[in-house]
Amino acid sequence: MTKQETFKINWIIELIKEQEPERTDLIEQLENSEIKEWFRQAYIRFVSGFRSNQPNSEWQFKENIELEHPTEGTIILDILKDGRIGGIEFLKYIPHY
């Protein structure tokens, strides 16, 4: 069995500091996140996407923040209307990219 590599939240924090330094709100959220490391995969969800963008849904999309990582490529942060990070998408791990 091969060891699956992990991705550390600190790498995202460093990318935001370099590429979106004014987004201290995102840095603070990630620093306070209970999730600190995960197996490399296409998407990490922080907020339930159940009935996204529907009335009373927790997931109300506002914008994307695009980051570039030297080995992982394009990373997209889904930002919700209340300012939370809804999830992080790693395009490298999506088969059609």
- Look up the pTM and report it: 0.90
For tokens 């840095």, the residue is: 27
Both structure tokens of 8 = 């550390």
Q: What is the pLDDT of residues 47-86, one digit of tens each?
A: 999 999 999 999 999 999 999 999 999 999 999 999 999 9
What per-residue confidence (pLDDT) applies to 3? Answer: 59
What is the C-alpha separation between 53 and 29, in angstroms, rounded? Answer: 21
Cα end-to-end span (Å), the chain: 27
Q: What is the pLDDT of residues 1-59, one digit of tens each?
A: 445 689 999 999 999 999 999 999 999 999 999 999 999 999 999 999 999 999 999 99
Burial class, 75, CB count within 10 angstroms (exposed 0-12 / middle 13-18 / buried 19+): buried
